[in-house]
């Protein structure tokens, strides 16, 4: 922790949470109630607890979200476009806007998806750490074990296959690796967890890369990194979390977050 604290003092590291009200699978999900607090509020407050982030910003559009962000004292910037190709492009634009406000350059930008209400601050810190320790690493993703066949088959759950050094080989919404062709026992199955730190300059370069066919097919923008011959470092986390893509996910999260100890630290009386 001494190492991380010293690096925090040297680096400008921010978190950006993109959120919109136009989710196709669960419209308005950013403000869906979870134990008296909108989902976006959970993500924001929990991200603020990270020991490495100097601040957290919301990248949002629409009057409802802007009013809510202001009501909780969150710093926010407005999305510049109606449609982005992946959240990574949205946070690249948001980063430039934030740098104008701050009058200084950011070093590391952490994309924190607005549909991860169960995020814990340690997840952000462990995702950022590889960037602090190895300057050759430019982008990191968290991953977690897939716990069931249902989750493995769920197209709303992005899967990832990694090499022996935990660099991503491929991202897919299909069930990879195949379990139909294997009889040698348990196989590693991982899902992408959308806490994604970028080296700031790499983020800007990435946002200008042309999307490839694989990104289009899978609808996962990390495949753009791979298609251009770059690397994505994956970090395994073992926290119990659940992203919200559907109403079923929302109900599951409400149940899982009953008695969550972090909520007490930011819930208003």
Contact 49, 43 (CB under 8 A): no
- In this structure, the strands spanning 108-112 and 13-19 are parallel
Query: What is the value of pTM for the model shown?
Result: 0.93
CATH 3.90.550.10 is held by the domain 2-247: yes
Distance CA 227, CA 169 (A): 10
* Dihedral, CA of residue 6, residue 222, residue 94 and residue 199, to nearest 10: 30
Give the pLDDT confidence of 168-182 residue by residue, as tens digits: 999 999 999 988 877
Give the pLDDT confidence of 75-86 residue by residue, as tens digits: 999 987 655 556
Distance CA 191, CA 129 (A): 20
Judged against a pLDDT cut of 60, whether residue 3 lies above it is answered with: no
Nearest to 225 by CA among 164, 170, 176: 170
Judged against a pLDDT cut of 80, whether residue 193 lies above it is answered with: yes
**Chain center to CA of 177:** 23
Token pair belonging to 10: 């040297």
Contacts of 164 (CB under 8 A, 6+ apart): none
SS (HEC) of the chain: CHHHHHHHHHCCEEEEEEECCCCCCCCCHHHCEECCEEHHHHHHHHHHCCCCCCEEEEEECCHHHHHHHHHCCCEEEECCCCCCCCHHHHHHHHHHHHHHHHCCCCCEEEEECCCCCCCCHHHHHHHHHHHHHCCCCCEEEEEEECCCHHHHHCCCCCEEEECCCCEEEEEECCCCCCCCCCCCCCCCCEEEECEEEEEHHHHHHHHCCCCCHHHHHHCCCHHHHHHCCCCCEEEECCCCCCCCCCHHHHHHHHHHCCCCCCHHHCCCC
> What pLDDT does 89 receive?
85
> What pLDDT does 268 receive?
73
Distance CA 264, CA 198 (A): 31
Give the pLDDT confidence of 219-259 residue by residue, as tens digits: 999 999 999 999 999 999 999 899 999 999 999 999 999 99
């Amino acid at each position: 922790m001494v190492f991380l604290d010293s690096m925090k003092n040297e680096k400008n590291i921010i978190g950006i949470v993109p959120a919109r009200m136009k989710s196709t699978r669960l419209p308005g999900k950013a403000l869906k109630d979870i134990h008296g607090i909108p989902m976006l509020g959970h993500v924001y407050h929990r991200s603020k607890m990270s020991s490495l982030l100097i601040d957290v910003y919301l990248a949002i559009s629409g009057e409802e979200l802007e009013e809510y962000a202001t009501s909780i004292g969150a710093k926010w910037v407005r999305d510049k476009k109606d449609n982005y190709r992946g959240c990574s492009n949205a946070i690249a634009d948001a980063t430039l806007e934030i740098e104008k406000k701050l009058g200084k350059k950011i070093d590391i930008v952490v994309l924190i998806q607005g549909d991860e209400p169960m995020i814990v601050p340690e997840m952000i810190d462990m995702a950022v750490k590889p960037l602090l320790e190895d300057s050759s690493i430019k982008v990191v993703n968290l991953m977690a074990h897939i716990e069931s066949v249902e989750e493995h088959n769920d197209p709303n759950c992005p899967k990832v296959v990694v090499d022996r050094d935990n660099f991503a080989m491929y991202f897919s919404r299909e069930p990879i690796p195949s379990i139909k062709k294997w009889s040698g026992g348990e196989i590693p199955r991982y899902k992408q967890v959308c806490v994604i730190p970028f080296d700031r300059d790499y983020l800007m370069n990435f946002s200008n890369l042309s999307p490839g066919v694989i990104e289009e097919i899978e609808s996962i923008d990390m495949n753009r990194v791979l298609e251009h011959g770059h690397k994505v470092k994956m970090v395994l986390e073992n926290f119990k979390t659940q992203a919200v893509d559907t109403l079923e996910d929302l109900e599951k999260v409400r149940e899982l977050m009953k008695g969550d100890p972090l909520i007490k630290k930011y819930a208003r009386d």
